[in-house]
Every structure is written in structure tokens, then in C-alpha cells.
Structure 1
């Protein structure tokens, strides 16, 4: 009997390691400054292995965006464990505040990528980045809708715009306190929203 790991499972794990590494390095360094060697080093795999799974850097960027999308799904799945949509939204904001040091250093993982990719003349990667942000907007809109609030999609836009703005400013000013102050303001705003009377 052998203890060897299934080669397909091993290959899948290595690809996932590379994808996670790409998401981290691209967030920290940006697309233009990142090389495949940087990602291989972060994933602790030989650089030649990167080409086995990803033929171009754009393929890795696309995989990193898929990783961001999967991470968002994990976050929202955890938030869905709460029965109260307002509590879900507040927990989301509290998570943003908790990541203030990372935001101050590198900005929002998806937002910064979307802005950088939009500057490129080629490809559709900017649309892929936008799709991840759209997923967050849709989820937030569902929460406001569940609260019976008018214009739930507009409220979602206000919330996510607030996050993108505070991430941008925290990063530009290298000041994590921006996230704390603006995040606290968003929490107060969420508490101030009046849900519709279910009897009306």
C-alpha cells in the first residue's frame, strides 16, 4: 500500500497555491511590477512549473481575480450564518475595518486591480475585475432588499463606494485610521436606515 498523493490532486493543489500566490503578489505589487518568478517564489514552486499551469501573466491575473471572487463567496457565506441582514452588512464593514493595515499599505485587492487593468488597451481583464465588484454590489443589494428598504441597489452602491473610497484614501495617505473612521461612519449609517414596516 502506498502513501503517495494522487498526481491529479497534487497538481490541483499546486495550481491553487500559484493562484493564491498570484492574488497576494498582484495586490501588493500590481500587475506591471509582478513577474512570474515573483509568483513562483511566493508559491514556493520552481518558476518552470508556473508555465505548466499558466501560459501567460494574463492567465495568472485572471486566476487571481477568480481567487478574489472565491474569497468573496467565502466571506458572504460566513455572513449568511446571521439571520439579520443588517448584522450581515455590519459584519462586512467590521471586516473591512479589521483589514485596515493591509488597505493602508496596498488598497482594496479588487479595486486597485480594476483601476490598473482599466489602463491597459488590450484584453478583457478589467471587465473580470469589475465582475467581482458587481458580485459584492449584488450581495449587498440583496441584504438591503431583505430589510425592506427603498432603492436597495442604490444603498449597495453607497456602501461599496464608501469602502472603495476609504480604501483608496487609506492607501494614498498610508493611514489605517481612515478605514476605522470611515468604517465607523458606515456602521452608524447602517444603523440609521429604517426598515419598512412589514404590516404596511
Structure 2
């Protein structure tokens, strides 16, 4: 009886670890295929804001019971314009940190500090505090001459994600962010992505507009 219980505990642990590894690899690979950064400025980390949550809404489709705590730590890199509209590119690298408590609270280097205030088996809606690193005039002296800097600024983000189905795991995502200071404006994103052929329990890759 004791051996059977230990075996069951190990199976659950291995399953949870496998899913965490899937999401971490998705983040790392997402950095290689990163899209340009947010408008007029840069996100606080190398990846686009949406890439940090890749795989999160899919998790409950295969694991209805979410572990109380999930921690993912890694590194990410992307080759992207110095600012939106720039023809000068640079390599941006840095940490990828993601901490989640149940299906409620999260602290992420990309998603910010927030809460899923509404959720279902295949969707979630969240509100988070975020920040933007801004943009420096010396990023492109010729094109930005006289335009000055855009300073770093805090903001709020409202976002939602919806998974079509387990058989067709297309994730639809939308978010809107309001920054206070810096660019002092609104930024919105619409997107979709899904796992590509060749994805396994230990290796996932995603694609989408």
C-alpha cells in the first residue's frame, strides 16, 4: 500500500515537472522567433509581452488540477528593432522568470504582477501591473534627432486568452495596456498561436500571427 502511494506521488510530480518544462522551453524558443517589441518602446524583458504566457492557457486542457505553486526560470534572447519602425536591429537578452500560484496570481518578467480575476477550463481574463523600459534617442540618432527620450513608466494591462478546443488547440489572445508617464498612451495587441507538429511532452514550439 505504501509503495503504491509513493509510486502515485512520483507520477504526479513527474507530470507536473514535465508541464513546467514544456512551458519553459516554449518561452526559450519563443525568444528565437520573437516578433518586434511594443510600440515606441521596449518591454522589460527580451521577449514580447505575449510570449511569456505561451502555453499557460493550454495547461488546463491536459492538466485540470493546477499545482499550487509553479516556478519557471530561464534565459531568453531576441533579435528585434531598436524601436518600432526602426531599420536598426539589436540582440536583446535577459532572464525569463515566471511564478504562479494556482490559477490566480502570477509574477512574471513579461506579464507583470497580476491576478486572473475570471477563468474557465479553456479561457482566462487577467489584470496586471506592468512597466515599460522606454526608448532612448541615441538608439537611432539620425532618425530620432530632436524627438527626445521616452522614459520608463508603469502601467496597467487587461488581457484575455481563449483556447478553441483540445483537438484544435488554437489560442486567441487580446490585451490592452495603459502607461502612466513615458509614452503616456495606450497599446493593444491581438494575436493567435498554436503548438506546431513535432511538439511533445518535453518540447513544444509555437507559431502564429
TM-score by length of 2: 0.35
Higher-strand-fraction structure: 2
Relative contact order higher in (CA < 8 Å, ≥ 6 apart):
1
| Larger gyration radius, structure 1 or structure 2 | 1
TM-score by length of 1: 0.36
